[in-house]
């Protein structure tokens, strides 16, 4: 697939926001960003419009573009939707798990464990995403997958911040992932759905406690 300049700018800007290099509520200087990326302002504006639709950017008339703020209410909305949708995606995927998907899961699981042991938050989150979507994509449900990718984009900023202050959660999540992969191998839809929802719920509660304590 050929990536357009707008695609490239969108991906780079998403990375900057998710990694925390562009902070919540920060104003995005479109001309400066275009200069840094060596592109015109047009693909920058198009990228910002895309990222507004995914909730990462706010475009305010006469004021410009801003990185969306973090909030407890938004986090809970995002993760509660993930709980429901990922539970259903896992249940639908279980009977369809094929050899190639299981092989991809094994590789992602090993990579998750290695990055958790080394404390590499960015790598851990990337491998975790690969693991989960290796499951969900076997459903072939385009709209569901599109929605889940959007929710993961919106939630990753919260996860990165949490794991920087509570890196032990990586080890817990890696343990939960092992149980998830075992359920995939059994093609056990009920167990897989329950395990996926439990993992997302544990993350939700950890984030809720962290954000509430940070606000005190």
Averaged pLDDT of the chain = 92
Which pLDDT band holds residue 189 (cuts at 50, 70, 90)?
very high
In this structure, the chain runs to a length of 216
Mean pLDDT of the 72-84 span: 95
Q: Classify the C-alpha dihedral 76-203-211-29 as positive or negative.
A: negative
- Residues 79-135 have pLDDT tens digits of 999 999 999 999 999 999 999 999 999 999 999 999 999 999 999 999 999 999 999
- Residues 146-181 have pLDDT tens digits of 999 989 988 988 988 788 878 888 999 989 999 999
Residue corresponding to tokens 């042991």 = 117
Residue corresponding to tokens 């290695």 = 114
DSSP letters for 20-55 = TSS-TT-EE-HHHHHHHHTS-HHHHHHHHHHHHHTT
Complete domains list, the chain, with CATH? 5-67 (1.10.10.10), 72-215 (1.20.120.530)
pTM as predicted? 0.83
Which pLDDT band holds residue 215 (cuts at 50, 70, 90)?
confident
Q: Helices 5-18 and 142-165: crossing angle, nearest 10°?
A: 40
- Looking only at the bridges linking them, the beta strands covering 64-67 and 57-60 are antiparallel
Q: DSSP state, 56?
A: S
């Amino acid at each position: 697939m050929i990536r357009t300049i707008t695609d490239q700018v969108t991906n780079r800007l998403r990375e900057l926001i998710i990694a925390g290099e562009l902070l919540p509520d920060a104003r995005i200087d479109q001309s400066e960003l275009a200069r840094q990326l060596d592109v015109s302002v047009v693909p920058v504006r198009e990228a910002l419009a895309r990222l507004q639709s995914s909730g990462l950017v706010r475009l305010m008339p006469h004021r410009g573009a801003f990185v969306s703020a973090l909030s407890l209410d938004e986090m809970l909305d995002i993760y509660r939707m993930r709980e429901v949708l990922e539970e259903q995606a896992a249940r639908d995927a279980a009977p369809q798990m094929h050899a190639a998907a299981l092989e991809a899961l094994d590789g992602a699981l090993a990579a998750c464990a290695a990055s958790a042991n080394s404390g590499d938050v960015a790598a851990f989150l990337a491998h975790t995403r690969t693991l989960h979507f290796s499951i969900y994509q076997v459903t072939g449900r385009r709209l569901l997958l599109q929605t889940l990718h959007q929710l993961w984009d919106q939630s990753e900023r919260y996860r990165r911040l949490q794991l920087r202050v509570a890196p032990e959660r990586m080890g817990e999540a890696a343990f939960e992932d092992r149980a998830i992969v075992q359920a995939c191998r059994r093609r056990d839809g009920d167990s897989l759905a329950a395990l996926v929802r439990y993992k997302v719920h544990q993350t939700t509660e950890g984030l809720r406690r962290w954000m509430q304590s940070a606000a005190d």
